[in-house]
Amino acid sequence: MTTSEQHGFWTQTAQQDLKRIIEYIAADNDLQARRVYLAIKQKADNLGQMPLQGRIVPELRLHSILIYRELISPPWRIIYKTEENKLWVLAVIDGRRNVEDLLLERFL
């Protein structure tokens, strides 16, 4: 690991988000659930090497909250923040929903 890499951690909330998504998809299609799981985990793992690649979450930017970023793994939004040598995955949200209220509730 190079000094520029960050250690990634998943909060309990983000783990629950991902679990609910995968369980919902698996009810109809186990193979698709596995694909979604791997895609989301791969995106999140890649953040360790380039933590600033995600954009600042637009709904939070409107409220001058600039510490949270996101990566998109369509239609999922992976919300995270960095601090020192750590990267925290905070939420995985369905981007097809109106998520502003949910984000403000979680991050204010």
| pLDDT tens string 96-107 | 887 788 887 787
Q: Which CATH number fits domain 7-107: 3.40.50.300, 3.30.2310.20, 3.30.70.360, 3.40.50.2000?
A: 3.30.2310.20
| pLDDT tens string 38-94 | 999 999 999 888 888 999 999 999 989 999 999 999 999 999 999 888 999 999 999
CA atoms within 13 A on the CB side of 65: 18
23-37: b or e for each residue (b if 16 or more CB lie within 10 Å)?
Answer: eebeeeeeeebeebb
Q: What pLDDT is attached to residue 102?
A: 81
Cis check: omega of the bond before 58, within 30 degrees of 0: no
Cα 59 versus chain centre, distance: 15
What are the structural domain ranges in the chain? 7-107
**Residues 65, 107 contacting (CB under 8 angstroms):** yes
